[in-house]
Every structure is written in structure tokens, then in C-alpha cells.
Structure 1
Amino acid sequence: MSSLIEIHRAAVRLFARQGYAGTGIRDLGKEAGINSATLYHYAGGKEEILVAIMAACLEGLLDGGRRALDHSADPAVQLVRLVRLHVAMEAVNPLTSYVTDREVRALSAANRARVLGLRDDYESMFQRVLERGERTGRFQIDDLPTTRMALLEMCNGVSNWYHPGGRLSVPEIQDRFADLATRLVGCRSVPPAESGTGLRVARLDSEPLDQHADEEALA
């Protein structure tokens, strides 16, 4: 198990730095400190490694998203908790999130369908919350598809610029993004007690240890 974790961390470092296409199997073995035969034994080929990394990241979002939706029937609360979850995942797992967001096109058809299925399942949570908020009058939305994409892209971007020790902590970024989300859909802010400050997002096994000081963040 430890060898598989090290392989995934090595892969994330390389895929984030030089891209999936620019990374060879020997590069992965060298980065992980093992030979190619051992790498294949523990992790399979390069694409299998990428799929495993992406699936774990998306399944983490799906699990957190389900908890966000189960907490309350209020679409505003659900939206804020989804946003806080996504921000935390991107901040705590920046390289894994970066690779997951950007390397889908490198996959073969079957693997792409699997990963896109997971991503669609997650994004549909935002869709359902926005539809329910609009239907109940909780939200004021002019263009629902554009609003959904704006929310997702806003959250996805955190992995590009967040650094521990920067001007804002993860909880502070979550607070600001939650406020932006409620403004975007035209509803009042959600009380702190309902906004999801008690949930946790852990560092994924694939995330390199040297990327950040924090191993988990409030979601």
C-alpha cells in the first residue's frame, strides 16, 4: 500500500509539472524511487495510475457533496456547503485537483467515460441545488447553466493560486467564496452555524506531502 501511495504522489508531481503526455513510465519509476517492473506490479500502466488518482479525487467530492445535501433541505445552505467543500478540496489537494481538472482529455474512451461520469454526478449536485433554489424563489438566477459553470470554475481555480501562509487561510477563503456564491444567485448570506464550518476535508493519499503545511481544512 505504501508503495502505491508513493507512486501516486510521484505521478501527481510529474503530471502537474510536465503534463501526462510529457511523462514517461521511466520518469514515474525514477520519481517514485522504484523500477518499472515494481511500478507495474503495484499500480499498472500510466493511464491506470491517472484514472485511480482522478477517481479518488472525484469520489471525495461526491462523498462530501452528499453530506452537504443531506445536512439541510435549504438550497442556500446546500450551495454554501458545496462551495466550502470544493474550495477546501482544491486548497488541501492542489496538485491532485489540478491534474484531475486538466488531464481528462488524455484518457482513452472507456476511462474518459468513467471519469466524466463521476464528474457529471458531482456537478449535477450544483445543478439540482440551483434548480431547487430557483423553483422555490430562494435564488434569483437569470441563466442557470452559466451560473453553475461560473460557480464550478471559481472553485476549481483555487488550486492555481492558493498557498499556505498566504494572505488568507483556507477557512477565510471559504467564507469569501460562500459570500460570492450567495451573491451570484441573489440570496441572503447563510448563518455561520449552517454554513458547514464543522466538516473536514482530508489530504488525499495522492497529494505530495511537500506541497502544503496543512493536512486538512474546514469545509
Structure 2
Amino acid sequence: MADYYIRLMRLYREPLREVEQFIVLLKRPSVSTTIQEEYRTGRMVHRYRVVRLWEKDPVPLLQRPALLPLAALARTDSAEALLERVAERIGSIEEPGLRANTLGYAKILAGLRFSEAIIDALLREELMRESVIYQRILREGEQRGREEGREEGRAQEARNIVLRQLVRRIGTLEASEREQVEGLSVDQLERLGEALLDFNGPESLSQWLSER
């Protein structure tokens, strides 16, 4: 924070402007957490403002589309009623792209306060599908799924190869040993594939598994 403050002062020193920094807390921390509003080191003291969103009036946030996602986390006596107001305000945004993107951000932040069922009920899925944010999340999820699928395929192939080599080397495996081998990671399977070349019998596998 202090570093950013100095950079901003250098950037806007002509004419000299006051720089005020804020930290926005989205979710109430645990009781044991101490929220600091200044940083001290040696003789330097740097102060900043802490905005506790759960203490803020939601009305100003509801009046600006860019702040609507934050409004769902503001002060309220009825969280669900507040989320309904957020949904209504988002639904009134005329520009489809802005409406969909605002809804996408709102749904993400609402997860800090509401259950998935409530979010799905009040923030409609059909509008989410228009959001570029939502589409990006889907693409990233699909990419991770493909990568995980490739990794799992690689691991299964390694298991099959090592199991075949073990059977040829030491004979049929005990069910418990087979289960342990199938639970090994790819790196462990590679090490076992090298080690089994020196196995003399079933006891060699038992010893290797106990020492891994």
C-alpha cells in the first residue's frame, strides 16, 4: 500500500494532489481477526481507509450499474430481499452486454453470502449465458477438464504398463498390492517401473511399497 501511494504521488505530483487509499473488505472476518488501518515500520506510518462492505448502505450501490455486484454484500436486515433488488436493477439495464456482464460479476460475489440455490433462483441463468465473464469461466473449466482428463489417461496407461510388467516379473499380485499400485501417482509408477527390473519375487514388491 505504501509503495503504491508513493508511486501515485510521483505520478500526479504536478499539480500536487492528495492520494487517499481504500481497502474494501467484501466479507466479515472472524471475530479473532484484527483489521489494521495503518502500516508502521521504523519511523514511517502509512494510513489507509478500510471499507467494511457489510456495514455500508446499499442504496448508493444500487444506483450505479458498476456497483450493483457489490450491493448484494451491503448492510441489510433481509439478505434475500436485497439480492432481489439487485436482480431487479440488473434486469433493468437495457444494454444486453452490460446487463449480462454485471449479472456475471454479481453472481460471483453473491457466493460470499448466499447459497448456490438462492443465487440460481434470483439471478437467472439465461442472462448469465450472455455474459463474457460466464463464458470465460466455462472455457477455463472445460480446459481444466481436458487437462485433467489427459493427465488421468496418462496415469491409467502407466498403471496398466506397470501392472503387466509386475505380473510378468513376479507373478499374480495380491488384491491389496494391486490396489496400492493403482493408487500410485504417475511419478511413483515411473519409479516402480524402473525398480521392478531388479525384483526377485513378490517380497520385492511388498518391500518397495512399504518403503515408498
TM-score (norm 2): 0.27
> Which one has a larger percent helix, Structure 1 or Structure 2?
1
Q: Which has the higher contact order (CA 8 A, sep 6+)?
A: 1
The answer to which structure has the higher strand fraction is 2
Of structures 1 and 2, the larger Rg is shown by: 2
